[in-house]
A and B are shown apart, each in its own frame.
Chain A
């Protein structure tokens, strides 16, 4: 079938619906947020329309810089952990029989049905001193007495990786299943070990997919605000937690909006940078 370029407005018809949805549910709210971020905060009240930079000024301090840096570092950590875990898992999954694959995928999808709240509380129980995993370690003699493993830095990415892993696998899965199996067979017949073939053939062949997955998980993890609160100490709170505080508890919408706009800009900047580096690498 030959594809004709669109000739008339009617040919663009199918695009109107998604474009409209994007406009109503993304462009308009985001535009509103940008507008509010320049409004004048009224202490002890709400805000009045204005064009001031004070909300951005308040954000540009070492304190908020530190929180932003931590949030980005946390999201990168979660993204890398997820891809490192999900890539070999998905590859092995793709080599199972159809039936087993379906069972695994259904199990993974069911994890997605858990809310962040349930995941947070489940992990806080698992990591607690009174009922948690450390009791098992005491039973088998590895520990003297049970210890609390949360709140701590380790607990936060653990919960977040658990939450994001099913998404990672579901994004990687189609690409890995479609990958030509003869590539790996060729590597094997040429004398490469399975692990060597995985790293030298499969990973480079999936380069773009891996990059896209990393970015997706990174953005997903950046928005997390409940798990850092439940599993971490205040120094592990992400910028999203502070945005929620300002918006919901302080009713300081202009400042919350300014922080959110800043977060979006930094995120877009980082994603653009990643894509740019990726493209340069391809040319070389």
Chain B
């Protein structure tokens, strides 16, 4: 097997970044999906653009500036969620599109800047992952992993049922803020590899794919991270050999994984449903219940 891909320093950096993105994005995404805020990552991605623009304008590291601005944006979103009354969604829309417009504007104001600079941040780029980017990505990824694994029971409880979590004495608001901040940090971790516009896909799609097979939260988490790492590595390598954009390749691979697992899961789900109906029938001991699968069976066969 030809491993020349590993001879290039920029590819080593890109592959390391890809693995970290593959782990962290689904690790945070699972809590967002659990609390039915799957699109939050997308919103943070928009806000992060202002940070990138600001980084260019002030000649500071765009990764760290994007981190600062998207964390601020995420905190603002949480505050709108607490205090916002009926028009919270409008306020959020303002934040998202304001962030995007701010990014485009700032980068054009930057000396020698144009939207061409922005496009590597929007869609991801392997060759531009610098030494200092890798350091930043490693530090931020470590933070994300400590939070998502170390506080998994607390985050699970808050994301499953906020009202109940309050009565177990958990600091619900602090945990919500932490989730938002962690999601914002993950967006900037993933920004260099998949790009800001596609970052949310890597938070959501592996989790959705994993759900097709799993029954427990723990298994969903593990499978989602495995899918995440597989598609980011696969996408990065494909991008190197075929000269296609990495972000798009990674997201398309993730959606491919989702479709594959959905197809595989259909027979599994049918078997589980049958077992569940039998268990329910046993428990209820109600003959009327037993008749239901019998009437459904021919319909299922006709479809095959």
User: A and B bound?
Assistant: no
Binding site for A on B (CB under 8 A): none
Q: Mark A residues whose CB is within 8 Å of B.
A: none
